[in-house]
Amino acid sequence: MGKELAEEYSVARETFAEADEALGYKLSQLCFEGPEEELRLTEITQPAILTASAAAWRVLREKGVNPSFVAGHSLGEYSANVAAGTLSFPDAVRTVRNRGKYMQEAVPVGVGAMAAILGMDLQKVTAVCADASHGEVCEPANINSTEQIVISGHADAVERATKLASERGAKRAIILPVSAPFHCSLMKPAQDRLAGDLQSLGFQKPGVPIVCNVDAASIEDGDRARDALIRQVTGAVKWDQLVRLLIARGIQTFVEVGPGKVLSGLMRQIDRSKTSLNVGDQASLQKTLEQLSVQRA
């Protein structure tokens, strides 16, 4: 993860070195060599993804790519804040390490669960969650597109909701292999702990507007950016609404920065007419730069 860009570009290498120093261990080695089991631990996964994303972003910036807006899905909102200059990279990488730890510790393993509901609109999913809760927590957590909504809460309630969703016409309802029930009210202990960390950090005015998950709204103020990062721990990721806001503001080209192409996949569900590019390694970087160059010409 990030190894090719680090080998090719000094700014990417420096980003991984900065993360190693901020965290006090060789995150770079885990990203480049594994083992995968260790990378899957939430408190390592989160800084690893942030670092790989920040490294790719800095390479893009060196190549003259300047966004009109920045946004990120859940953890990705930290990368967006780094890109906007709201939050320093060392502060961000230390914060997300703690964020992963707090989220993991908020709910004992096995108590919570998450499930993907496919082919059912938000109103119906919300009704399914309410009817399946039986006094427990069951809430929409990631509104990824009109076709894909992830729910989160107590394991039994989520299990009941998947059965109910299938009965009420969902195309599929699948329990996800996650370590905790993210983006629901069960994460309140993690949110409270993270709030203390974020309140102690200096947030600057963003150099470019950030569109936040929790409100699907554009932010141009450091205090609001901090508040959005706090509230997103228990709040739903409104990705579908966020992308539609950007499209309404005239955005035609989206660049997914960092490992994977999940957001590009969601873009096909939200609006296939928009251009979606990604940068995670040397090949995808070159392809994206070429396509951006053609658009500018």
pLDDT tens across 129-173, in order?
A: 999 999 999 999 999 999 999 999 999 999 999 999 999 999 999
Catalytically active residues, by annotation: 74, 183
Of 285, 295, 207, give the one whose Cα is nearest residue 11.
285
- Please check the confidence at residue 262 and state whether its pLDDT lies above 90: yes
Residue 146: the pLDDT is 92
pLDDT of residue 109: 87
With 0.75 as the threshold, say if the pTM is over it. Answer: yes
What are the tokens at 276?
Answer: 């979606």
| Residue 66 CB neighbour total at 10 angstroms | 8
Would you list the domain boundaries of the chain? 3-106+243-296, 112-178
Measure the CA–CA gap between 9 and 1, rounded to whole angstroms. Answer: 14
Task: Give me the CATH code for the 3-106+243-296 domain, please.
Answer: 3.40.366.10
Angle at 257 between CA 253 and CA 260, to 5 degrees: 110
Q: Yes or no: is domain 112-178 CATH 3.30.465.10?
A: no
Average pLDDT over residues 113-139: 97
Please indicate whether the domains covering 3-106+243-296 and 112-178 agree at the CATH topology level.
no
Q: Say which DSSP state 119 is in.
A: S
